[in-house]
Amino acid sequence: MRRRHSTSRWRGLTLIELLAVIAGLAVLLGVLLPIMNTASIEAHRTGCQSNLYRIGLAFTSHMQDNDGRLPLARPLDEPVPCRLPEPPLTVALLGHFRPTVDIFICPGDGELYTHCQMSYWYNESVSHKRMSELVDRSRGIVGPTMVPMIWDADATVFDVPGGQLRVPRFHLLRQTIFGDLHVDGLSDQHTPMHPLR
C-alpha cells in the first residue's frame, strides 16, 4: 500500500485576482474619503459656531458692564489697515471671557489668525452702539435677529503694507453671529462687509 503525501503548496494570486483586490480597495477608499472629508468640514463648522457663540456671550457681558453698548473696536487687528483708531476686538473684550480659551481662531483658518490674531471680522458699523440704534426699518433691519455682528473672514483679500493678504476659503458659508446671539451660515452675497452704513 502506497501512502500518498499531501503536498500543500500555496499557489499565489493570479494577476486578475490581484487587480480585483486593488479595484475593491479603490472603490472602498472612493466611498470613505468624501465621508471623512465631510466629517472634517462639519467639525470645523461646529467649532467655528461654538467660538462665535462664546464671543456673543462676551458681547453680552460687555454690554451689561457698559450701559448696553457693543464694544468699541476695529474690525481686525494689524496688519490690516483700518481707519478706526480703536483697539482690536480681542482687547476690547478682555475680561469678558476666559483668556485661556482662544475663541478668536476658527478651526478651519490657518492664514488670517497668524497675521491678525483673529479669524473673525467685526462689523465696524455696530461698534459702540446699542441694539436699539441698529434697527433700520428702511433697510429691512427690524431687530437684532437681522444684525450681523461678527463673521468668519474666509475667502477675503486684505490690502496690507507690502502687498495683499489672501485668506483661503475654509467654510462653504460664512459663519455669522447676529445681534440676538444666534449663529448661522450666510453666503458671500448675503454678508455685506458694512451692512449698516
pLDDT one-digit tens code per residue, 22-48: 999 999 988 888 777 778 778 888 888
More confident residue, 7 or 147: 147
pLDDT band at 188 (very low <50, low <70, confident <90, very high): low
Identity (one letter) of the amino acid at 21?
A: V
Say how far apart CA 66 and CA 71 lie, in whole Å.
9
- Is the backbone peptide bond immediately before 88 cis, with ω within 30 degrees of 0? no
Q: Is residue 3 part of a domain?
A: no
40 occurs within a structural domain: yes
Residue range(s) defining the domain that contains residue 77: 15-190
Instruction: Tell me: pLDDT of 20 over 80.
Output: yes
Give CA 136 to chain center in angstroms.
Answer: 28
Average pLDDT, the chain: 76
In a domain, 161, yes or no: yes
Residue 1 lies in a domain: no
Does a structural domain hold residue 9?
no
CB contact at 8 A, 155 and 175: no
Residue 60 located in a structural domain: yes
Sheet of 183-186, strands arranged across: 120-122, 148-152, 174-178, 183-186
**Looking at the 3D structure of the chain, how many domains does it have?**
1
